[in-house]
Each structure stands twice: as C-alpha cells, then as structure tokens.
Amino acid sequence: MHCWHYTIYRPEGEFLLPDHHKNKNRALPYLEILRRSEQLMIRHLESERTKLIGFDYSTVSYADTPNPDKWAAEAVFEAVRQKLKEVPSVSRLNCVYLCRTKETAVRMAEEDWIRPAGIKKEDLYLLACETEENSLFSYDIRYFDEAYRSLEHNDVRRAARFAEQYWKDHHSPAEYEELLCGSPVKILKREYF
C-alpha cells in the first residue's frame, strides 16, 4: 500500500524504521512516573513546564524542543494500550506514523508543525512510502489532540478516557486518520513540502 509520511528529519537510507524520531526515550520517564502515581506525573509535568520559563528556543532545533505535555500524553496512551488486552496494535512509541494520502500528510504537517511551531515549509520532507496494508493500524488523531489538551490542564483521567477511545475506535473519518506501522516502511520518493 502506498502512503505518506511527513518529517523534519532528513531521511537516510531506503527505509523508515519504527521510532526513527526516538520518541520512546522522551516518553518513557513519564510512563514510569505514571505507573507509580497520577499525582507524581502531574508534579513532574509541572516541574518540566517550569523549566521552560525563559527557555531559549533559538539554541535548539525544533525536533529537540522540550514538549512535556506531548511526552506525558504519549505515556498515558502507552499505559492505556498496555492495560487493554484486546488492542491489536503497535505502540505509538515504536512505530512509523503514516497518512493514506499526500493531502492528509500536508494538512497534518500544517496542523502539527507549521502553524503551531512556526516551522518553515522548506524545512519539512514529504515521503511517499510503501508498506503492507496488513501491517497498518488506523486511529482517529482527534482523540490524541483532546488528550493533549486535557494534560495541559493536568487532567490525567480525562486524557486516559480519550486514550481508551483512541485505541478502541477504528472508524476514523479519512481527514483525521493516522496510521501506525510497526515494521520498516520503504521510502519510494522524497519531496520537499
């Protein structure tokens, strides 16, 4: 199946590997804290946010910009996924994120990186990819967005409810669908945005 991936990382080689962005390493500390206590995670999250006051963003690339709410959300999604025995999916922490169409990839890149973070279009890559359709898992990204917003207000339980809906609901409207793939994805073509 042909699909699309957007990234700020210059792709190397013929394949995208699961977790090529190294997101797992950023989310695991939050997951370990969450396993101990929701309150501990909230305190850790607040502490990490406090470190961002006065942070000089010009000293790091966008990929290395601290985003504690993002990693806390990923931790909540992983904790819920591990609790739900019936979820036949790969982890968000060890996958390649894909879109079915180029148009969806462009729109999601604009929503994820261009508008909120001020990333320039010329700094993004669009990758035409190929993978086996039976290795893909389809989810509605709106649940992740709502969980993220819940964590911005320190509401871990609400975020967990959105995570559970995400993992259980496989009927996403096409414009909100994200695909997770747990195996290497062949890069067919690289394009600038």
In order along the chain (193 residues), what is the average pLDDT of each group of 10 residues?
Answer: 88 85 87 96 94 80 77 95 86 94 90 74 90 90 94 96 91 83 94 81
pTM for this entry: 0.90
CA 11, CA 17: separation in Å to the nearest integer? 10
Inter-CA distances, 69 with 27, 148, 154, Å: 10, 6, 9
CA 185, CA 99: separation in Å to the nearest integer? 12
114 Cβ contact list (under 8 Å, min separation 6): 120, 121, 124
Tokens of 51: 């470190």
pLDDT at 116: 66
Give the residue extent of every domain in the chain: 2-192
122 Cβ contact list (under 8 Å, min separation 6): 192, 193
CA 180, CA 193: separation in Å to the nearest integer? 22
CA 33, CA 12: separation in Å to the nearest integer? 34
Tokens of 30: 């939050």
